[in-house]
Chains A and B, each alone.
Chain A
Amino acid sequence: MNNSSRIKALAVPVVSVLAGLILGAVIMVVSGYSPVEGYQAMLRGAFGRTYNIGEVFRSATPLILTGLGFSVASTAGFFNIGLAGQALAGWISAIWLALTFPDLPKIILVPLCIVIGALAGALWAGIAGFFKAQFGTSEVIVTIMLNYTILYISNHLVRYVLTDNKDATPKISENASLRTEFLRNLSGGSRLNMGLFLALIMIVVIWIFMKKTTVGFEMRAVGMNPFASEYAGMSAKKNIVLAMMISGALAGLGGVVEGLGTFENLYILDAAPAIGFDGMAVSLLGGGNPIGILLSAILFGTLKTGGLKMSSVDIPNEIVDVVVASIIFFIGISFAIRYIMDKFSPKKGEV
């Protein structure tokens, strides 16, 4: 990568974030609130106390995982819009397992839940991958439909299978929880949990997988030029399904972390979990690269956690949501911003 493209790779996310913050400020001004006070409150909410910092990282954790999931799929040329559903598949299966075998020793139960959650996510995404590979069905449509399917399945399970007509499952046992005494004390009693280490490990694993293995090489090649990959004897079908399953497994892990770490149960949802779409935005903002994803997940964690505090300066929750959403919106369209910058930057290095 030469210098100017490196600068551009950094400029896009920075410009998007700034634009989002400015739009947020404008919205606050228009609605009669002080943006300075608002953002100050946000910062306090995110970094004011150890507890807040813990929560920032807690909420960044699943986003790292779903963000990685999105980037793996898109490397292979696949737009995985179903991260939310795959996360929910991971979440519900981990909870189910944890509630079924509450007394298994922690050293067995936690890994088992993690593996089951990843498999469930992989399976859910694999369905879309299979249809795409076999029949060329658009992954966008299939994964959106699957988001709804799993939402209703999960709500049904919560209400009628895991509980007797209740809105939430009971808490999982201590043996299944990702929370630890150590992290709780370290972070001033926040819900920060072992999931963070899982996410950090996955960053490294995925990076090595994509850059250093033959399978990762194939996925990158298929994503960049399916024709040449076919010519070189790679199977586009195999790679599509595989990439989708890995992507889904990562999203599933995101759900596991929510289930076993953040909430320690599952409840009736009215939409597939937000970590799905936020993960997409995290990946786009991070330019699909692991360090970028880590940083942008932390930024998202900051916005989400800090945003909660804005109501303390009398900014209504709705405005807070709009401000956070407008920042996310700008990040979401960073694709467009990248495009525009490409278009209007005077020089292209192409031959």
Chain B
Amino acid sequence: MEESHYVIEMENITKAFGTFKANDNVNLKVKKGEIHALLGENGAGKSTLMNILSGLLEPTSGTIRIHGKEVDIANPTIANKLGIGMVHQHFMLIDNFTIAENIILGSEPTNAGVIDRKKALKEITAVSDRYGFKIDPSALISNISVGMQQRVEIIKTLYRGADLLIFDEPTAVLTPQEIEELIEIMHGLVAEGKSIIVITHKLDEIKAVADRCTVIRRGKSIDTVNVADVSPQELADLMVGRSVSFKTPKGPAAPTHPVLKIKDLVVKENRGLDAVKDLTLEVRAGEIVGVAGIDGNGQSELLQAITGMRKVESGTVEINGKDATNNRPREITENSTAHVPEDRQKYGLVLPMTVSENLAIQTYYKAPLSKSGFLNYKSINQHARELIEEFDVRTSSELVPASALSGGNQQKAIIAREIDRDPDLLIVAQPTRGLDVGAIEYIHKRLIEQRDRGKGVLCVSFELDEILNISDRIAVMFDGRIVGIVDPQETNEQELGLLMAGVPLAEARQELSQTVAQEGAGVDE
């Protein structure tokens, strides 16, 4: 029989949840040794398709061929045997196990029924050396960075003999540095003859890493293109089905009185060290203040302290002219403040509850959602349907559990819930993490709209694009402090990069102008 030059051929795959088709006659063909990107809006059906390929879901109809041979991937174990490995967006690692233990978990090499640790270690080292991973197999998962954890997940799939690796939004949680390293790793893997399917919403990443790209729109595969032949703009338009703009137009801000005043704030992190150190910051009505910074410089603790979820050690927080230091979350909510939390699944949603209930979770105790202590499910569901419609949350119904929403749509639901309350102060962390470009455009528009209606917005994001795009002022956070406040019109990514690394503003500017001078280009700024 003739070997097909495709490793994977998924043909006419349909997956229905009830009457709703998450995948509708999808076709996907991956060549051996290529990096194949999967692009599509939130809820288009990308994760569903990959869950089918990795044996987590059963297709309603369609055929899958591996190296030309038809297969039935009934469960993840079979997928493993067929050489398919998936790196999920939410890692599936055990915190207090070591790297090595996590890697061998479920396929431990044994010697007379006893786990053969020596052999395991040798094999792990062999795998990681071959692909150039730098890991310490004896380190505990809880002590390593997110980027490192992802590497463990990758090694785990390789250790089980994967030939085709699936990455579901691998870069959403990584720092720019880690993203670059991941891209290198991926190139290394295909050089070794592996094939890769990668899901990402970031078009520049597709350009940087992928050979071909299949676009899925509302459950249907639209096209497969050679990445080299298309521009990011073309990819975006293809995916959404209309022309998307990357830069949200916005007029100048007209800030007035302060809505949030933080003074000399000190907050501790979980281990008891100071994470926020004497921080002072103000957000005025009618402006968007962006907080830029590398993950782990106290941003999370700052937001948690403002919103009442972490203790303020010293200093003050004032919201809407009222002292809000160490207020409880409910008091802060009642003080016209809304909060899109960083970790949507841990804080933002009660996953087993319905979408409808989740959209009511901040206001369920008020009319019209409830009356004298009794919930009014008619209003709750009505309210949910309105938000779903307005914010284009893609779901088959408001009555499915929130866990059935796609990652991006979970995020959209949270944002819808928080903006809907029309708060004077809107605090958002990573507002567009995991969103497609169309949704990002929409969310940015809504944030700017809030600003224009005279509300204050505080936005923490690791995406410099986003910070530069929507902020009226950028506060750069480093080591628990605001090390500089800059005007987005007068700064750029390089300058922000230096500030985020702890270089003081004056020095950063000097350094940058020197580089320009040294390059001797003589071009105007």
Instruction: Give A residues with C-beta under 8 Å from B.
Output: 2, 212-215, 217, 220-221, 224-225, 227-235, 346-351
Question: Which residue of B47, B348, B365 is within 8 Å of A231 (Cβ)?
Answer: B348
B48 touches A351 (CB 8 A): yes
Q: When the two chains form their complex, are residues A228 and B373 in contact, meaning their CB atoms are under 8 A apart?
A: no
- Cα distance, A213 to B406, chains bound together (Å): 29
Q: Which residues of B contact A347 (CB under 8 A)?
A: 56-58, 75
Q: Check A221–B350 contact: CB distance below 8 A.
A: yes
Q: Which B residues between 318 and 349 are near A, CB-CB below 8 angstroms?
A: 328-333, 339, 341, 346-349
Q: Which residues of the other chain, B, contact A351 by a CB distance below 8 angstroms? A: 47-48, 51, 403-407
Contact B374 A350 (CB under 8 A): no
* Contact among A230, A232, A346 with B58 in the assembled complex (CB-CB below 8 Å): A346
Residues of A within 8 A of B339 (CB): 231
Smallest CB-CB separation from B358: which chain A residue? A228
Whether A233 and B333, one on each chain, are in contact in the complex, defined by CB atoms closer than 8 angstroms, is: yes
B352: CB under 8 A from chain A?
yes
Q: Given A230-B309, A232-B329, are A214 and B364 also a contact pair (CB < 8 Å)?
A: yes
Cβ distance A5 to chain B, nearest Cβ, rounded Å: 11
- Contact between chains at B56 and A217 (CB < 8 Å): no
With A224-B350, A346-B74, A351-B407 known, 14 other A-B pairs at CB within 8 A are A2-B18, A214-B374, A217-B375, A221-B353, A224-B352, A227-B346, A231-B341, A231-B347, A233-B330, A233-B362, A235-B330, A347-B58, A349-B17, A351-B404
Given A2-B18, A232-B329, A350:B56 Cβ within 8 A: yes
Of chain B, the residue at the smallest CB distance from A216 is B375
Known contacts: A228-B349, A346-B58. The answer to whether A213 contacts B75 by CB under 8 A is no
Which residue of the partner chain, among A213, A221, A349, contacts B373 with CB atoms under 8 Å?
A: A213
Once the chains are docked, how many angstroms separate the CA of A350 from the CA of B57?
A: 8
Chain B neighbourhood of A235, CB < 8 A: 328, 330
Q: State in angstroms the CA–CA spacing of A229 and B407 once bound together.
A: 20
Give the residue name and chain of the A residue nearest to B168 (CB): A351
For B331, the chain A residues whose CB sits under 8 A away are: 233
Q: Are B346 and A214 in contact (CB under 8 A)?
A: no
- Chain B residue at minimum C-beta to C-beta distance from A346: B75
Say which residue of A213, A221, A224, A228 sits within 8 Å of B347 (CB atoms).
A228
- Which B residues between 439 and 456 are near A, CB-CB below 8 angstroms? none
Closest 7 CB pairs of A and B: A233-B330, A225-B350, A231-B347, A233-B329, A346-B75, A232-B361, A228-B350
B357 at the interface (CB under 8 A from A): yes
Q: Is B351 an interface residue (CB 8 A)?
A: yes
Nearest CB of B to A74, in Å: 14
Number of chain B residues close to chain A: CB under 8 A: 43
Asked if B430 is an interface residue, CB under 8 A from chain A, the answer is no
A2 contacts across to B, CB distance below 8 A:
17-18
Task: Give Cα A188–Cα B364 distance, bound, in whole angstroms.
Answer: 50
Tell me if B25 is interfacial: C-beta within 8 Å of chain A: no
Selected contact of A214 from candidates B56, B365, B407, CB within 8 Å: B365
Contacts of B297 in A (CB 8 A): none
- Interchain CA distance A233-B346 in the complex, whole Å: 15
* B370 beta carbon closer than 8 Å to chain A: yes
Q: Which of B71-115 contact A (CB under 8 A)?
A: 74-75
Distance between Cα atoms of A91 and B102 in the complex (Å): 51
Mask for B288-320, Cβ within 8 A of A = 1, else 0? 000000000000000000010100000000000
Residues from chain B with a CB closer than 8 A to the CB of A214 are 364-365, 370, 373-375
In the bound complex, how far is the Cα of B332 from the Cα of A234, in angstroms? 12
Task: Give, as a whole number of angstroms, the nearest-CB distance from A341 to chain B.
Answer: 14
- Return chain A residues, CB-CB under 8 Å to B349: 225, 228
Minimum CB–CB distance from B191 to chain A (whole Å) comes to 32
Contact call A350/B328, Cβ cutoff below 8 A: no
Complex formed: what's the CA distance from A229 to B362 in Å? 9
**Interchain CB contact under 8 A, A231 and B56:** no
* Chain B residues whose C-beta falls within 8 Å of the C-beta of A225 in the assembled complex: 346, 349-351
Residues of A contacting B375 in the complex (Cβ-Cβ under 8 angstroms): 212-214, 217
Contact partners of A224 in chain B: CB under 8 A: 350-353
Enumerate chain A residues within 8 angstroms of B332, measured Cβ to Cβ. Answer: 233
Q: Of A215, A227, A228, A346, which is within 8 A of B361 by CB?
A: A228
Most B CB within 10 A of own CB, among A212, A235, A346? A346
The answer on a CB contact under 8 Å between A217 and B404 is no
With known contacts A214-B364, A217-B357, A224-B352, A231–B374 Cβ distance under 8 A: no
Closest to A347 in B: B58
- By beta carbon, the residue of chain B nearest A225 is B350
Please give me the residue from chain B that is nearest to A344 by CB atom: B75
In the assembled complex, which residues on chain A have CB atoms less than 8 Å from the CB atom of B377? 212
Question: A349 and B404 in contact (CB under 8 A), knowing A2-B18, A212-B375, A230-B309?
Answer: yes
Q: Which residue of A lies closest to B75 (CB)?
A: A346
Residues of B close to A220: CB separation below 8 A: 353
Assess A348 versus B348: contact at CB under 8 Å? Given A233-B329, A233-B362: no
Chain A nearest Cβ from B230, distance in angstroms: 28
Q: Are A215 and B48 in contact (CB under 8 A)?
A: no
Complex CA distance for A227 and B310, rounded to whole angstroms: 12
Provide the bound-state CA to CA distance between A213 and B339, in Å. Answer: 25
- Can you spell out 25 A-B residue pairs with CB atoms less than 8 angstroms apart? A2-B18, A212-B375, A212-B377, A213-B373, A213-B374, A214-B373, A214-B374, A225-B349, A225-B350, A228-B346, A228-B347, A228-B349, A229-B350, A231-B339, A231-B347, A232-B361, A233-B329, A233-B332, A233-B333, A234-B330, A347-B75, A350-B56, A351-B47, A351-B403, A351-B405
- A232: chain B residues at CB < 8 Å are 329, 333, 361-362
Within 8 A of A (CB), among B24-79: 47-48, 51, 56-58, 74-75
| Residues of the B chain whose Cβ atoms lie less than 8 Å from the Cβ of A213 | 373-375
Q: Which residues in A have their C-beta under 8 angstroms from that of B406?
A: 351
